[in-house]
Amino acid sequence: MTSAPEASPESRLEESLARIDRLDPELCAFTEVWHEEARSRLESARRLPLAGLPFAVKGRTGIRSYSARRLIAAGGIPVGATSVPGPGTAWQTWGQGAHGRTVNPWRHDRTPGGSSAGSAVAVAAGMVELATGADGAGSVRVPAAWCGVFGLRTTRGLLPSPDRTGLASAGLLAGSVATAELALGHLVKGYVPCPARLPVPAVYSPCLGFADVDPDVARVTREAVDRLVAAGTVRLVPGGCDLLDPAEAWLAVRAGRPTPATDRLRAADDRALDALFDRVPLLLTPVTPNTPHGHEGPGDTYSTALTWAFNLSGHPAASLPVGFTADGCPAGLQLVAARGQDAALLGMARALESASQAGTPRRPRFSRAAPGRTPGRRRPG
């Protein structure tokens, strides 16, 4: 959204709803928009801490989530439910909105990522400043990276999650780290901000020891790290972070069929990460090994190759927008901190965002979509 911080709650809400009405036929980020319900909440919300901040919820059931209920109690106003992958999608990398297939706001022939597809698009297009998400393999971080917004996956157990496997944690997508931290402060009882002490000691791992990363993605993220070092925000510590490929273990846990071999793999990676965070507070990696793929699917590439290790380990992790690949799509830098250090992670993210000037990325351009326009149909599952 383009509202100034001092904009009235009324004008901020009406701008959000108007922008949704204008852009969603083109982007298909929402499955439902709650115009009158949102307006009816305004009078009571204006007197609360969030003062009527418009936000979106992930999926039709998102309004019942713990995060949504806490944000509403703090004065946030839910304006609609965002798209998630439709039935039958083998890879959860795109969404299905009310008007058709959800598209990446930077390139409509590319996926926005998933499964928090619509949430990322809604924030990237300025339809809302904040959206809820959930991350079981990268479902917040991947769309955040590919849509050029900030995305946070919280420490396992910090917030309630219905996922019995323990892989999925609640998350947030926001136009800035400050907005995400504002929201998290109302989700976590007793939350205390933790500003970073600069320079932040960090390890940069371009591939976590196993992933095949696209050279252009590697270039953008490495250049971002170099800028942060030059700015005095980050101090790179010698050594890397080499993990075992977590794919087999993640799939086994997700299926509810872990084996002694996958348990050993998971334990080995946990030991490696525990040792790393004993010596530095921050790990940096690319968010994805690839650029956003087309709507036909990712082929043989695991877009989650660099994210799902931390769903297994339970660490908090974030995606910070840091630049664009040659195809014009955003790329994200992944920030990972020790378990339970969500406040410290956000403090470091704020410092990195400021130094990299990632908090004010250029805005994607949109055509004037005609009402009811459907940009494409989802490929049958």
Is 189 a residue of the active site?
no
Active site residue 83: no
Residues 6 or more apart from 195 whose CB is under 8 A from it?
A: 347, 350, 351
Is 58 among the residues known to form the active site? yes
What is the DSSP pairing of strand 130-135 with strand 96-97?
unpaired
Name residue 173's beta-bridge partners. Answer: 131, 151
State the catalytic residue, choosing from 16, 65, 83, 115: 115
List the catalytic residue out of 58, 65, 83, 116: 58
Question: 65, 119, 139, 161: which is the annotated catalytic residue?
Answer: 139
Catalytic residues: 58, 115, 139
